[in-house]
Structure 1
Amino acid sequence: MKTMNTQRGMTLTSFLVVLIVVAFGLYIGMKLFPMYSEYYSVRSALKGLAKEPGVGNMEPARVQEMFFKRLDISFSENVKPSNVKFERVGGGWNMKVNYEVRRQLIGNLDVVGKFDTHQELTLNGVD
């Protein structure tokens, strides 16, 4: 008796579909990664400022200058001085950074990221 061996595996069409889905996912990731990388740079700069001794006694303009010097190191381009606000809290400042990033995705479709973070800056520089 002769038995037929059946082949198993992906067809060329199913392989192309999987390849297209993976490529599209990578493309989206390439568009989103810089946005989130910049956000983590902003968070890192804020946490670094919070550790500076006496930052709660400094004028907001001086604190903002220190913040943007830290952001210049990481080549941040979307955070502008108008995105930074200060509120006086008991022992220092509450620094808020609220900004939006828009990147073209495909044709006339854009991906928009809205980022909002804050950090308390106290007199003794402890978080």
Structure 2
Amino acid sequence: MGGMQSAKRQHGLTITGFLFVAAVVIIAALVSFRMIPAYIEYYSVKKALEGALNDARDLSPAEIRRSVERRLNVDYVDSVRASDVEVTKSGNTVTAATTWEKRLHMVGNVSIILEFEATASR
């Protein structure tokens, strides 16, 4: 029975496949790392709106905006100003809401636009 054995077909990732997978993983990680601060800012804005509604004594729009302004300054939020907050009253419910977008420059003429909407009610 012959001294020569046929070579088994090998399965696995080629160098080209490995480089492609590595590039996709690196790009996904870079995009994610660029987006994390924007989402942290979103949660800071949401927390500021909720805190302002909970702490406001008379729930007037001016008082709510002042409270939001203080909270946004403490959290170093620069994408939203108190003047961007819309305060509405409907019956016994007061709602504070704002929308904004964050543009993240990636490379060259490629950017990612994130649209946020934060709302709180009391």
Q: Give TM class, smaller chain.
A: 0.7 to 0.9
Match of 1:120 in 2: 121
Cα displacement (A) at 1:109 = 2.0
Q: 8 Å contact 1:57–1:92 — kept in the other structure?
A: no
Question: Does 2:44 match 1:41?
Answer: yes
Where in structure 1 do 4 or more consecutive aligned residues deviate above 3 Å? Answer: 5-8
Cα-Cα RMSD: 2.1
Q: 8 Å contact 1:45–1:67 — kept in the other structure?
A: yes
Q: Say which one has the larger Rg.
A: 2
- Which of the residues 11, 16, 19 maps onto 2:14? 11
Q: 8 Å contact 2:65–2:83 — kept in the other structure?
A: no
Cα distance in 2 between the residues matched to 1:42 and 1:16: 40
Q: Give % identity.
A: 27
What's the secondary structure of 1:78's corresponding residue? coil
Cα displacement (A) at 1:40 = 1.2
Cα distance in 1 between the residues matched to 2:4 and 2:71: 75
Match of 2:79 in 1: 78
Cα displacement (A) at 1:72 = 2.4
Cα distance in 2 between the residues matched to 1:45 and 1:58: 14
Match of 2:111 in 1: 110
Higher relative contact order at CA 8 Å, sep ≥6: structure 1 or structure 2?
A: 1
Match of 1:2 in 2: 4
Letter in 1 for 2:105: Q
TM-score of the two chains, using structure 1 as the length reference? 0.78
- Which of the residues 7, 23, 26 maps onto 1:20? 23
What's the secondary structure of 1:71's corresponding residue? helix
The number of residue pairs the alignment matches comes to 119
TM-score of the two chains, using structure 2 as the length reference? 0.81
